[in-house]
Chain A
Amino acid sequence: NAGVTQTPKFRILKIGQSMTLQCTQDMNHNYMYWYRQDPGMGLKLIYYSVGAGITDKGEVPNGYNVSRSTTEDFPLRLELAAPSQTSVYFCASMRGNEQFFGPGTRLTVL
Chain B
Amino acid sequence: QKEVEQNSGPLSVPEGAIASLNCTYSDRGSQSFFWYRQYSGKSPELIMSIYSNGDKEDGRFTAQLNKASQYVSLLIRDSQPSDSATYLCAVNGLNTGGFKTIFGAGTRLFVKA
Contact = CB atoms under 8 A, between A and B. Distances in A.
**Main secondary structure on B side of the interface with A:** strand
Contacts of A31: 99
A64 to B, nearest CB: 16
A17 interface: no
The contact size tier of chain A is: 20 to 34
Given A43-B88, A97-B34, A104 B43 contact: yes
Contact of B99 (A41, A43, A50): A50
The contact size tier of chain B is: 20 to 34
Contact of B100 (A41, A45, A98): A45
B19 interface: no
Interface string A31-71: 10101000011110100101000000010000000000000
Interface of B: 4, 8, 32, 34, 36, 42-46, 49, 88, 92, 99-101, 103-106
Interface of A: 31, 33, 35, 40-43, 45, 48, 50, 58, 90, 94, 97-99, 101-104
